[in-house]
Amino acid sequence: MESKKVYSMKSALWFVFLFSFAMVAATWLVSPLLAPFRAQLLPDSGASWYYWKLPHPELWASISMWVLYLAHQITVWVLIAKLKNDPWPEAGKIGRYNFLLLIANAVFIVLHLVQTTLFYDALAQFTPVMSSQGSVIVMLVMMLILLNSRRGLFFSKKVYLPPLGVAATQKIHGFYIAWAVVFTFWFHPMEGTLGHLLGFLYLFLLMGQMSLARTSWHTKIGWLTFLEVFVAVHGAVVAIIAGNGMWPMFFFGFMMMFIVTQVFGIIKDRLAIAGVIVSYATLVSITYSGALGTLFTGTSVGWSDIHQITWIPIILYGLVFVLAWLFAGVSALIKKCKKEHGSN
């Protein structure tokens, strides 16, 4: 167990990427076996409806999904708690609990694929669709809070966020993101549509990121930026498949976050950054001028729809301040209660 090969960072990264793509391929290959379940699915009835669930809860599907989800969730929380008290590994190495997290996540990924093949249903049967989407949004907001000190929030400019709120975010983000990722993973059946496959690839990579906490890889700004930007691609692809005309909102909304905030963490040359911004503005202009017609969208978009690209940034940036000050207030209240309790 102490061998250099088992605990090397290079081996761990190879495992994360190869296993992630292998499980995406396995999910696609197993997909034809799910046809009998798909034949039972009810028609899509709107944004609040999750299409990929059985018409009614079934006993063994329900038992299997909840038992495996809770086992997965508790396992990663316990291992993260132990990891937080473990010394940092040497450069180029991962620690014992990093290794155990990688193995645990891999095992539960395989178990979820088996569970989908046998019973299909996932947590979407019992939880609203916004619970999954909302959990990922808060994860992205936490990343913005934590990286404000490294790359700023608006065009490389750091904004004031209450230190207590930032410290609280730093303290709880590992446990919260572990919940957001594991819950979202078990929310969906392991279907083989392009949208599902991209979503699961993203979740597998996030599990790898979770597993490599307290290592140098965990804080690499380029890797973190990739994880942030991936949602633009996934959101756009899902919207294109749906043919609802909303892919520009997702793609350009999340990419606006890139040109306003994220690009300043990975590119330092001002001319190169200007080129990125001009490219973004050009693509937005082409799309909303109607030049693309109904290509990708299923319905045309025009200048009257361009305000949609501001929705995601407004929500995410607004939540940065709401969460930071909320965490600061809760932290201050807890400190006050502890102080009063200690003086009694």
pLDDT digits (tens, 9 = 90+) for 267-280: 999 999 999 999 99
Paired tokens of 59: 């006993």
Q: How many CA atoms lie within 13 A of 261 on its CB side?
A: 29
Give the C-alpha separation, 279 to 249, whole Å: 17
Give the model's pLDDT for residue 294: 67
Residues 32 and 175 in one domain: no
Domain boundary among 102, 122, 142: 122
The answer on pLDDT for 6 being more than 70 is: no
pLDDT tens string 167-225: 999 999 999 999 999 999 999 999 999 999 999 999 999 999 999 999 999 999 999 99
Tell me: pLDDT of 45 over 90.
no
Of residues 344 and 208, more confidently modeled:
208
- The answer on 243 and 178 residing in a single domain is yes
Token pair belonging to 61: 């599907």
Taking the CA atoms of the chain, what radius of gyration do you get in angstroms? Answer: 21
Say how many domains are in the chain.
2
169 lies in the same domain as 272: yes
Tell me the one-letter amino acid at 186. W
Strand partners, 154: 157
* Mean pLDDT, all residues of the chain: 92
pLDDT of 213: 94
Going from the C-alpha of 227 to that of each of 143, 161, 204, 262, 320, the distances in angstroms are: 10, 23, 11, 11, 18
State yes or no: pLDDT of 145 exceeds 50. Answer: yes
Q: Residue written as tokens 């709120």?
A: 165
194 lies in a domain? no
Domain end residue (candidates: 92, 122, 152): 122
pLDDT confidence of residue 245 = 78
Check if the beta carbon of residue 102 is closer than 8 Å to that of residue 15. yes
Q: Looking at residue 93, what DSSP letter applies?
A: B
> Does the model's pTM come out above 0.75?
yes
247 and 138 both lie in a single domain: yes
Query: Which of 122, 150, 169 represents a domain boundary (last residue)?
Result: 122
Whole-number Å distance between alpha carbons of 252 and 288 = 11
286 in any annotated domain: yes
Residues 147 and 79 in one domain: no
Place 3 in a pLDDT band, splitting at 50, 70 and 90. very low
**Residue 114's closest CA among 66, 64, 74, 70?**
64
> Is residue 202 in some structural domain?
no
Question: What DSSP letter does each residue of 58-91 carry, written as one string?
Answer: -HHHHHHHHHHHHHHHHHHHHHHHHHHTSPPPPT
- The answer on 156 and 83 residing in a single domain is no
Interatomic CA distance for residues 181 and 73, integer angstroms: 9
With respect to residue 249, please indicate whether it lies within any of the assigned structural domains: yes
Which domain range does residue 290 map to?
A: 127-187+220-344
pLDDT one-digit tens code per residue, 279-332: 999 999 999 988 777 666 666 788 988 999 999 999 999 999 999 999 999 999
Given CA atoms 289, 273, 231, 165 in this order, what sign does their dihedral have? negative
Same domain? 38 vs 173? no
User: Residue 36 domain-assigned?
Assistant: yes
pLDDT (mean) for 3-28: 88
